[in-house]
Amino acid sequence: MERKKRVIMLADCQSFYASVEKSAHPEYTSRPLVVAGDPARRSGIILAACPLAKTYGITTAERLSDAIAKCPDVVVVKPRMAEYIRVSLHITSIFQSYTDLVEPYSIDEQFLDVTGSLRLFGSPEAIARQIQQQVWLETGVRVRIGISDTKVVSKMACDLFAKKNKTGIYILPKEEIADKLWSMPIRDMFMVGSRMAHHFYKMGIHTIGDLARTPLPRLRDRWGVNGEVLWRIANGIDDSPVRPGTFMQQQKGIGHQMTLPRDYTTWSEIRVVLLELAELVARRAREKGLMGQVVSVGCRGTDFDKPTGFSRQMKIKEPTQITAEVYNAACELFQRYWDGQPVRRVGVSLTELVPDTEYQLTWFDNREQQRELDKVTDAIKRKFGDTAIIRASSLEHAGQIHDRSRKIGGHYR
């Protein structure tokens, strides 16, 4: 029996954070607007720029000071992550009114399988238009939609075509890939960054078509399974289904990072932040019932043009979710690899995760007491808030826990 042709959509919210802010502030409708770190201090990076701001050359991830130099009248808004999450979930609920097969890809992108919805709502293009209209009316956010019979091609249809046309909709059947995609530069292909593009150039691969026509064994010899993945993308081959809830599945690591309000130059300051990060990471691990055996630490300086810093990891003796053990490993790594240069961003993460239902007991330490103490602290914070009980070191000038408690994902609520 012939398999029914799938209809897969990738819906992308245009300038999502900025769109949410413009919807909340109609007075900014005709003004260039960006969402960025700290407007009061004119610091941080651009998280989102509205289409009008982009006409001035402002781009996501550039420094706020550079954006202001391009457009002195730009409206700078502090990020409100709780609101963005709320709107994203609202948009998800709209998608789910058309199909139960909705897979979040990021906070502003989601896959939809509408194969079973065509008889009820009409053609793929009709469904896309209905979705666009409903999302716009209910949230003030514009949605661009790429449509194909696979997830990977619908993603490229959205990124390369739907985002650039007036309707914000583009249908790219698999049989038209050779005509529409293969002449495009390899750097435009999904999953190809600047570094990978450079490797392809050395191999004489300059377009997506060049990669699609490259013998698969040659790519396997060079990059193993990753080479085959890229070859399949170029040829539009993707059998993966749209899986509801995939974005929420268990992650491979648990991490936190902080962008500091100023350069930290002394070990006494940095260790305070490492302890706060270790506590955040270990607490999340305990909440998820996980332990990790690899602790990673990274830092970066303030000069993006001349980057300094490092990223290193170490495997500890036993999997852990104990704050003190994560902190001690983080300190060991930092003191070993830090070159003394000023630090503006610090991160700690825990990987090689395993369930905490089984763990090694020993006679020679107090791990069980530490575990129980950490859990009591977690319970107090759950009931009374993150700052109900804090370590004395966080009261020092270097501490960030009070500022952090007002944020989600490093950005203000």
Binding site as annotated, residues for Mg(2+): 12, 108
Number of H helices, E strands in the chain: 16, 14
Q: Is the dihedral of CA 402, 406, 411, 412 positive or negative?
A: negative
Q: Are 142 and 128 in contact (CB under 8 A)?
A: no
Grouping H, G, I as helix, E, B as strand and the rest as coil, residue 108 is: coil
Among 338, 344, 347, 367, residue whose Cα is nearest residue 280: 347
Catalytic residue among 103, 109, 269, 276: 109
Annotated binding residues = 12, 108
Q: Are 114 and 132 in contact (CB under 8 A)?
A: no
Distance between CA 278 and CA 273 in Å, rounded?
Answer: 8
Pairing type for strands 143-148 and 169-171 reads parallel
Q: Are 142 and 124 in contact (CB under 8 A)?
A: no
Could you say which DSSP state residue 63 is in? B
Distance between CA 49 and CA 54 in Å, rounded?
Answer: 6
Q: Are 178 and 154 in contact (CB under 8 A)?
A: no
Using alpha carbons, list the distances in angstroms from residue 405 to 98, 255, 381, 385: 37, 16, 11, 8
Distance between CA 82 and CA 24 in Å, rounded?
Answer: 14
Q: Are 163 and 109 in contact (CB under 8 A)?
A: no
Pairing type for strands 33-38 and 75-77 reads parallel
- For this structure, is 109 an active site residue? yes
Other C-beta atoms lying within 10 Å of the C-beta of residue 317: 10
Instruction: Catalogue the active-site residues.
Output: 109
